[in-house]
Amino acid sequence: MKFLRLFLCLVTLCLTACMSHLFLDTSTRLQVENKTDVAILGLDVISEDGTSVQPWIKDTIEPGEKSKVVEEDWVGTFRVRVRFDKWNGKHTVSVSACETKVTPPIRVYAVLAKQSDANVIEKQASSCNDQSIDMTYAEVELDFEGGSQYLVVSEDEDGKAVFKFR
Amino acid sequence: MKYELKKILLLLTITAGVAFADPIPTEALTQGGLVMRDRQLRDIGLVMRGGRGGFFDIGYTYTPSSEQLQLNSKYGIHDGFAFRHHYGIYGSWVLDSISHLGFLTWFDRAGWDSQDFFFFPHYGKFAHISSAFTWGFSYTNTKFDYTAAIGMQHQNLELAGSRVYPDESDSLLFYWAHARYKNVSFQGSFYRGTFQTLRLSLDLESRELYGGVGSGFKTYLPNLNATIYRRKTNGDDDNFIRLNWEQNLYKQILYSDVTFDFPDYGFRSAILKYYPDPSRMIGFEASCMRRHEHSGAKDLLWGGSIDLLFLRFGYNSAFDYENMFHAKGTFIVEIKFHIGSVDRKFYGRGAAKAAPMETTQSQFDLKKFMKNRAEQNQGQPTIDAQGNKVIHAKGIRYEKADAVETTSSEGGN
């Protein structure tokens, strides 16, 4: 009887998959809180060369508000881009849906963050219609452990963007 | 104290096994089908050296940590598991005293997923799962010592996450054929009339297993094989030749195996293999592999593996680099078993001699055993401390004087 039970357990394990399913998350449920005084236009995961973009949080987050919880399969270490409406009073035009074809940065100014991995930069790039577009964003490499994660975006007294998981 | 030291060493090994692990590139996964098909055909080629008997091979690669073989995509590093499950079965039947008809199936399922599994994958958004299935028939004539085999090979792409992998053909069908005369064999695989690989093998080494000699200079002859691989670079044919040279160095227990690529790359890998027994059930190997990623000595990957019949441990070994999507810097454990048999003798993959086995009469004769025991009990009545014979009653028999039949009951009431 004991062996039968053990056998049935093993069969169930085999059929479902492996033990790791009990304690490993394969997706991240991300919620972003905006503690800066500018609106966040969205959060994307971008490739290292900047040519491919996977949008994650698409809705605009007004200052002091939280985004919806969006579940995606990003578990690991990825380069994340947070797009702002403006930074330090410089207003720029928001990017269009053709953002996947951005060219390398033509001018980069307003390098605000002291830490090397989180800079808010303004980039001028041509869209798919060859129209010049500007976007203001911060790029940061983040470690997503999976499960429910709460990202707080804030601005410190020096005017740098600060990203913190809570 | 000793226990503590052991614990620390174990922890260090585990940490080293995970901390220095390099993530596997997406390109290696896309190339996976090609690697699987070629390895299966090479395996089949080894079994066809005899072309009769049977072969069985099963294995499951076990990587316990999700940070051990991460995926390196253009977006970053994904946590998850690389896996390789495989089996190979070959069986043959004797038609008459010289003809053997065989059937074979080889199956590999390999890739990367965000969860590990046995049968049903998680199918994550960045998963890449593909399989290769080879089957075929073989005919062997022992009088003229030749084998002919023919079959098909299916390569199926189960899933490739569209975000990071290029578009691939969903399923491909290949044909393969193998012909052997004595120790020369020729193997080819084709796709719609164009060849994929063409291989010529010269197994010059004399093998006791297939009727050769067990020692002497003939066992020191080399095993050579040359394979032409079809390759396209920017739409143009860019075929290359891979040359393998396996050489017995000492009494068929120490071998070297060197691989060269022509015309471009030159040296590819060198493996030193040590088998405590020529039957190759247990093996140790040290390997050096050129990766074509860096220049000079930095490009060489040094590693090794230990094969303990049911378990195989590898670290940076050439086999794992090739078959586990360029895995390096981590320990890879494979739960496996493989055995081949020819003429009721057993051997490991590619072996020259059969495993030493003692034939014992395993049939148990119960009648004889009972009779022997009964005789022993009868002949030796026990004697107590006073020297009197003691007879143990085996039951109590009641007899009724007026009963017609004698009834007996054992054990009393």
**What pLDDT, in 10s, does the model give residues B288-331?**
999 888 888 888 999 999 999 999 999 999 999 999 999 988 99
* C-beta of residue B35 within 8 angstroms of C-beta of residue B323: yes
Residue B124 with chain A: CB contacts under 8 Å: 26, 73
To the nearest whole angstrom, how far is the Cα of A38 from the nearest Cα of chain B?
A: 27
pLDDT tens readout for residues A83-135: 888 776 544 433 333 333 333 333 333 333 333 344 455 554 444 444 445 67
The Cα–Cα gap between B70 and A152 comes to 27
The reply to whether A22 touches chain B by the CB within 8 Å rule is no
Sign of the dihedral defined by the CA atoms of residues B4, B7, B11, B13, in that order: positive
pLDDT at position A126, please?
A: 43
Q: Closest-CA residue in chain A for B67?
A: A76
Nearest to A55 by CA among A75, A35, A72: A72
Residue B241 pLDDT > 60, yes or no? yes
Name chain A contacts of B80, Cβ cutoff 8 Å.
Answer: 26, 75-76
Cβ B292 vs Cβ B299: under 8 Å: yes
Q: What is the rounded CA–CA span in Å between residue B91 and residue B104?
A: 7
Residue A14 falls inside a structural domain: no
Q: Which residue has the tokens 């089908």?
A: B33
Which residue does chain B place closest to A26, by CA atoms? Answer: B114
In a domain, A3, yes or no: no
Degrees to nearest 5, angle at CA B31 with B30 and B37:
125
Confirm or reject contact between A10 and chain B (CB < 8 A): no
Q: Which residue of B has its CA nearest to A71?
A: B125
User: Which chain B residue is nearest to residue A145, measuring alpha carbons?
Assistant: B79
Long-range contact pairs involving B214-220 (C-beta distance under 8 Å, separation at least 24): B214/B353, B215/B251, B219/B248, B219/B251, B219/B252, B219/B352, B220/B247, B220/B248
Q: CA–CA separation, A26 vs A74, rounded Å? A: 8
Task: Provide the shortest C-alpha distance from residue B163 to chain A (in Å).
Answer: 8
Is A64 within 8 Å of A35 (Cβ atoms)? yes
Q: What is the CA radius of gyration of chain A?
A: 20
A159 and B CB contact within 8 Å: no
pTM: 0.79
The residue among B348, B191, B225 whose CA lies nearest residue B284 is: B348
* Distance (Å, whole) CA B77 – CA A144: 10
Q: Does A45 touch chain B (CB under 8 A)?
A: yes
Q: Do A18 and B126 touch (CB under 8 A)?
A: no
The verdict on a CB contact (< 8 Å) between B66 and A20 is yes
CATH classification at residue A94: 2.60.40
Distance CA B305, CA B135 (A): 29
- Between A14, A26, A72, which is nearest B118 by CB? A14
Closest C-alpha among B241, B221, B217 to residue B229:
B241
pLDDT tens-digit readout, B335-382? 999 999 998 899 999 999 999 876 665 667 788 888 888 877 665 666
Q: How many whole angstroms separate alpha carbon A154 and alpha carbon A161?
A: 6
The 8 Å CB, 24+ separation contacts for A145-148 are A145/A25, A145/A28, A145/A75, A146/A24, A146/A25, A146/A26, A146/A27, A146/A28, A146/A75, A146/B79, A147/A25, A147/A28, A147/A29, A148/A29, A148/A31, A148/A69
Strand partners, A57: A43
Mutation for testing the A interface, residue in B24, B78, B83, B119 having most A CBs under 10 Å: B78
- Return the beta strands (E) in B182-239 as ranges: 184-191, 194-203, 223-229, 232-233, 236-237
Distance CA B242, CA B290 (A): 14
Instruction: Determine the residue among A13, A16, A25, A26 to mutate to test chain B binding: the one whose Cβ has the most chain B Cβ atoms within 10 Å.
Output: A26
Rounded distance, CA B100 to CA B271, Å?
34
Instruction: Report CA A31 to chain centroid distance, whole Å.
Output: 10
Q: Do the domain assignments include residue A7?
A: no
The residue-averaged pLDDT of B104-130 equals 90
- Window from B56-60, B172-176, B328-332, B402-406 with minimum mean pLDDT: B402-406
Using an 8 Å CB-CB cutoff, list chain A residues near B122. 17, 21, 26
Show the CA angle centred on residue A45, arms to residues A41 and A48, nearest 5°.
125
Q: What does DSSP assign to residue B53?
A: S
Nearest Cα residue in chain B from A18: B117
Residue with tokens 């930074």: A87
| Nearby residues of A37 by Cβ (< 8 Å), 6 or more positions away | A63, A155
Provide the greatest CA pair distance for chain B. 110
**Which letter does DSSP use for residue B328 in this model?**
B
Instruction: Give the nearest partner residue to B114 out of A13, A49, A75, using CB atoms.
Output: A75
The CA-atom distances, in angstroms, between B177 and each of B42, B134, B350 are 12, 11, 20
Tokens representing A70? 């969006």
Please give the Cα distance from B60 to A150 (Å, whole number).
38
Asked whether residue B265 carries a pLDDT value surpassing 90, the answer given is no
- Put simply, the answer to whether A47 touches B75 (Cβ < 8 Å) is yes
**B306 within 8 A of B284, measured Cβ to Cβ:** yes
Between CA A81 and CA A140 the distance in angstroms is 6
Q: Which residues of B touch A26 (CB under 8 A)?
A: 80, 114-115, 122, 124
- Residue with the bigger pLDDT between B337 and B410: it is B337
CB B115 within 8 A of CB A22: no
Distance from CA of A21 to the nearest CA of B (A): 7
**Nearest neighbour of A21 by CB, restricted to B75, B76, B115:** B115
What pLDDT was estimated at residue B296? 80
Q: Which of A9, A12, A15, A20 is most worth mutating to test chain B (most B CB atoms within 10 A of its CB)?
A: A20
Q: How far is B334 from chain A (nearest CA, A)?
A: 16
* CB of B83 less than 8 A from some CB of A: no
Cβ pair B147, B5 in contact under 8 A:
no
A77 touches chain B (CB under 8 A): yes
Interval A12-34: pLDDT, tens: 665 555 666 777 788 899 999 99
Closest to B38 in 3D by CA, of B183, B201, B153, B130: B153
Domain that holds residue A142: 27-165
The nearest CA of chain A is from the CA of B375 a distance in Å of 40
Q: Which of A67-81, B198-212, B389-403 has the lowest mean pLDDT?
A: B389-403
Q: How confident is the model at residue A146 (pLDDT cuts 50, 70, 90)?
A: confident
Confidence of residue B17 (pLDDT cuts 50, 70, 90): low
Q: Which token pair is A21? A: 């399913």
Minimum-distance CB partner of B74 among A14, A52, A77: A52
Kindly determine whether residue A79 and residue B76, on different chains, have CB atoms separated by under 8 Å: yes
3-state secondary structure of B19: helix
Rg (CA), chain B: 29
Q: Which of B71, B74, B164 to mutate to test the interface with A (most CBs of A within 10 A)?
A: B74
What ipTM goes with this model? 0.72
pLDDT value at residue B351: 92
Domain count, chain A: 1
pLDDT recorded at residue B18? 60
How many distinct helices (H) and strands (E) make up chain A?
A: 1, 11
Q: Does B116 touch chain A (CB under 8 A)?
A: yes
Asked if A46 reaches chain B (Cβ–Cβ under 8 Å), the answer is yes
Q: B332 φ, ψ to 5°?
A: -120, 125
Mean pLDDT of A76-81: 89
pLDDT tops 80 at residue B7? no
Among A159, A148, A156, A158, smallest CA distance to A32 is for A148
Is the Cβ of A97 closer than 8 Å to some Cβ of chain B? no
- Within 13 A of A28's CA, how many CA atoms are on the CB side? 22
Contact list, A21 vs chain B (CB under 8 Å): 115, 122
Please name the residues in contact with B81: beta carbons below 8 A apart, sequence gap of 6 or more.
A20, B63, B66, B68, B69, B112, B113, B114, B115, B116
What are chain B's domains? 22-347 (2.40.160)
